[in-house]
Amino acid sequence: MSNIEFVIKRSGAKVPFLPQRITNAIYRAAVAVGGRDRATAENLSQKVIQILEKTHQPGIAPTIEEIQDVVEKVLIENGHAKVAKAYILYRGERERTRQERAISASKPSENIPWAKIWHILDWAVDHSLNTIAGLNDRIARGELPDIVHESEKLYEEDVENAAEMIIERAEELRMVIITGPSSSGKTTSTIKVGQHLQRKNLNLVTLNVDNYFFDLSMHPQDEFGDYDFETPQALDLPLINEHLSQLIAGKEVMIPFYDFKTGKRQDNQTSMRLKENDIILIDSLHGLYDAMTQAIPDEQKFKLYLEPLLQMKSANGQYVRWTDLRLIRRMLRDAAHRAYDPRKTLLHWHYVRSSEMRNIIPYINTTDYIISSAMPYELALYSAKLLDDFEQWTADYEKDPLREDAYTRAARLYQVLKQVTPVPEDSSVPGDSVLREFIGGSTLKY
């Protein structure tokens, strides 16, 4: 047992000292540079704790910064320079993120596609859907079917534009990357783009990168037993690149199979070889992460990005956050298809968001085209489905310093959803809508 009982967070809050958090941080840094030795991470964590116990008097809680300083010192002094560098870089990124938040009101983000946003905002204003009040007014006038039709039409136009751009480059392309953060609508959009391409005798052949996960036991795990499988390092990137090179060279490869029930990967399970007019499809959260497809020249890739770029203000004048839309979508999908409690999705979301901000969002402006999967009417469906849950989660985590992220998101979404007129049934939503990917009832075969 450590004689250190508490830690002082940057906010000044005092929280219980959990040694496993140090182990997790070290192991996560090791994973970032290819290491998978949890026992070594635990041993180094013990060295950190020993130093902390010697340098801090009983009853005096160390700060987060002090603990991180000791971690860096222990890593370097014990010959783990690469891990130390990864840890320092990650720590620096978090600090820069905090500073950017402080000045975000006066400095536009480089991670936002401003031209696309302006187009969507202009459309929203024209259709009186740029505010929750406008949405409610149209629903009250019985215009929900019209809202659905207008929203779906805008999305379908985006899909068609993307497909036409791919067709124009068909002779040089060997790969289409369809990517975007969690629950942005990649699966449905991939099917729809593929349907357009098939009319031109072009076939998208999926290399399912989910089969390249390392065994679950090799992923970082936190003190609550939750695994961090949102990072690209959770995938066997060298093997993915090896198979991509062989496929484009016309060779046959043996694809592994990852069993999500057991958390284990079996190698050399399914043969794959490209035929004439086949284009490799990478449908992945981390498709833009350079190390995933670095074996393929950029001129042979088409990069398509998905994000629900909703432009709608709530009553307090703040725009509804895209990440909040995706959180709800993932809650509904996880509950429907994975028997996963929505509360667990909320508690895991900080991992999702952290990985997005490091490995996905920064590349949004490097893509060839952006599709917005937002449906302005989706908030009305979510209000009917989850309003009571968000109210409960807000109450449950309000005073829990270890669940600050969950509380912040739950409270923010509760305030948004209670402003929206709830629509308890979804009969007006088309069977092939991107939302069906999350609310169920799709006519598409996933």
Report DSSP letters for 64-127, one per residue: HHHHHHHHHHHHHHTT-HHHHHHHHHHHHHHHHHHHHHHHTTTS--TTS-HHHHHHHHHHHHHT
pLDDT of residue 105: 45
Q: Are both 257 and 211 inside the same structural domain? A: yes
Q: Which of 56, 77, 103 is the last residue of a domain?
A: 103
Domain count across the chain: 2
Has residue 379 been placed in a domain?
yes
Among 409, 292, 288, smallest CA distance to 358 is for: 288
Has residue 431 been placed in a domain?
yes
Global pTM value: 0.75
Q: Are both 217 and 153 inside the same structural domain? A: yes
Strands (E), 260-336: 264-272, 278-284, 301-307
**H or E element in which residue 338 lies:** none
8 A C-beta contact, residue 180 and residue 305: yes
8 A C-beta contact, residue 258 and residue 210: yes
pLDDT of residue 97: 58
Has residue 176 been placed in a domain?
yes
Q: Are both 327 and 212 inside the same structural domain? A: yes
Q: Are both 132 and 38 inside the same structural domain? A: no
Distances from the Cα of 142 to the Cα of 81, 176, 417, 432, angstroms: 64, 41, 20, 23
Has residue 445 been placed in a domain?
no
pLDDT of residue 103: 45
Among 78, 75, 66, 48, smallest CA distance to 9 is for: 66
Helix/strand/coil for 169: coil
pLDDT of residue 102: 47
pLDDT of residue 358: 79
CATH number of the domain bearing residue 243: 3.40.50.300
Q: Are both 258 and 291 inside the same structural domain? A: yes
Helix/strand/coil for 268: strand
pLDDT of residue 420: 98
Q: Are both 36 and 84 inside the same structural domain? A: yes
Quickly list H helices, 144-204: 144-168, 186-198
Q: Are both 202 and 313 inside the same structural domain? A: yes
Has residue 446 been placed in a domain?
no
pLDDT of residue 140: 97
pLDDT of residue 2: 67
8 A C-beta contact, residue 333 and residue 385: no
Has residue 444 been placed in a domain?
no
Q: Are both 88 and 129 inside the same structural domain? A: no
Q: Are both 399 and 428 inside the same structural domain? A: yes
Q: Which of 73, 103, 133 is the last residue of a domain?
A: 103
Among 311, 330, 310, smallest CA distance to 439 is for: 330
Q: Which of 81, 103, 125 is the last residue of a domain?
A: 103
Has residue 75 been placed in a domain?
yes
Has residue 1 been placed in a domain?
no
Q: Are both 92 and 141 inside the same structural domain? A: no
Among 429, 437, 407, 181, smallest CA distance to 309 is for: 181
8 A C-beta contact, residue 148 and residue 428: yes
For residue 67, give its domain range: 6-103
Q: Are both 237 and 382 inside the same structural domain? A: yes
Q: Are both 85 and 146 inside the same structural domain? A: no
The pLDDT tens digits along the chain (446 residues) read 567 877 787 767 777 777 777 877 787 777 777 777 778 888 888 888 888 888 877 777 888 788 888 888 888 888 888 887 777 777 766 666 555 544 444 455 566 778 899 999 999 999 999 999 999 999 999 999 999 999 999 999 999 999 999 999 988 999 999 999 999 999 999 999 999 999 999 999 999 988 998 888 776 655 555 666 667 888 899 999 999 999 999 999 999 999 988 889 999 999 999 998 899 999 888 888 888 899 899 899 999 999 999 999 999 999 999 999 999 999 999 888 777 899 999 998 988 888 788 778 888 888 999 999 999 999 999 999 999 999 999 999 998 888 999 999 999 999 999 999 999 999 999 999 999 999 999 999 87
